[in-house]
Amino acid sequence: MPKSADRFLYNLAPFIIMIATFLAMAVLPFAKGLQTMDFDIGIFYVTAVSSIGVIGILIAGWSSNNKYSLIGAMRSGAQILSYELSVSLSLVTIIILAGSMQLSVIVESQRDSWFLFKGHIPSLIAFVIFLIAGTAETNRGPFDLAEAESELTAGFHTEYSGIKFAFFFLAEYINMFIVAAMATTVFLGGWMPLHFGSFESFNVVMDFIPPLVWFFMKVLGVIFLIMWFKWTFPRLRVDQILTLEWKYLLPINLVNILLMCLVVLTKFHL
């Protein structure tokens, strides 16, 4: 631990980040009835508690008394707070379609068809935006500017080692799982099997696969996409990251919400 670091805040930061990630995991429905808590404001709860992690990152960067840590923390804070908007608005699009914020109700609403298909074009746009913004939220590449090794040694956790350093990395991967699990629950039917209209024989075979297996297969598929982003695209500059959010994703999201309202009002999704 650095001599000039703020001892209390330095030790507190990793725990704040870990607590925020485990709080968010509490409402994830892995299968029917396999859920710790089932709030009627489930989506609102997840977006609220997941944003607490930013406080831990800012505290870690400032309390280390290291200029690289502070720059990394400020970059990460600006990035996460910006992309929180796009994540929330893409989820609002699906809340309008489902008519509920309760995660178990949202999954049950997808029994006949997943929202990715049922919600037509607005759902597809919301899903793509959610994946991009979710990748940025977790500080994964190409949005890993806060941990740019070539510029900032290791970003906000430069001065950390041992179990506290492990907490930061563990939280990053748990957050990636939470983003993938939320995408699965909200867009891909959660634990629901894949059904195609009148293909009865195909649908019966799909029903044999246990709900828990369906959930984790979908989550692994989304995690694969997020990792594919990292190894495909080069790291963005900080101005490019914020431009992408404020000039492109946010306006598209706002228009997309209006489109989804139109779909629901005209009952085009039924």
Contacts of range 31-38, beta carbons closer than 8 Å, 24 or more positions apart: 31/191, 31/210, 31/211, 31/212, 31/215, 32/104, 32/191, 32/211, 34/212, 35/103, 35/104, 38/102, 38/103, 38/104
Domain residue extents for the chain:
7-265
Contacts of 80 (CB under 8 A, 6+ apart): 51, 53, 54, 57, 136, 137, 139
**What three-state secondary structure class fits 270?**
coil
Contacts of 19 (CB under 8 A, 6+ apart): 52
| pLDDT tens track, the chain, 270 positions | 777 778 888 888 889 989 989 998 888 888 887 888 888 888 999 999 988 888 888 898 888 888 888 888 888 888 888 898 999 999 999 999 888 888 888 888 888 778 888 878 899 999 999 999 999 888 777 877 766 665 656 677 777 888 888 888 888 889 899 999 999 999 988 888 887 767 777 778 877 888 889 899 999 999 999 888 888 888 888 888 889 899 999 999 999 999 999 988 888 766
| Beta carbons of 27 and 179 less than 8 angstroms apart | no
C-alpha pair distances (Å), 258 with each of 68, 87, 96, 126, 185 = 42, 16, 10, 12, 22
Residue 23 amino acid letter: L
Burial class from Cβ neighbours inside 10 Å (0-12, 13-18, 19+) for residue 56 reads buried
Rounded Cα gap, residues 223 and 172, in angstroms: 13
Question: CA-based angle 185:187:190, to the nearest 5?
Answer: 30
The pLDDT value recorded for residue 183 is 93
**What three-state secondary structure class fits 113?**
coil
Note the residue count of the chain: 270
The pLDDT value recorded for residue 211 is 86
Phi and psi torsions of 34, nearest 5°: -95, 75
Taking Cα atoms as reference points, which of 86, 78, 79 lies closest to residue 250? 86
Task: Tell me how crowded residue 173 is: count the other CB atoms within 10 A of its CB.
Answer: 13
The pLDDT value recorded for residue 148 is 62
Taking Cα atoms as reference points, which of 89, 87, 106 lies closest to residue 98? 106
| Beta carbons of 130 and 187 less than 8 angstroms apart | yes
The pLDDT value recorded for residue 129 is 93
The pLDDT value recorded for residue 139 is 79
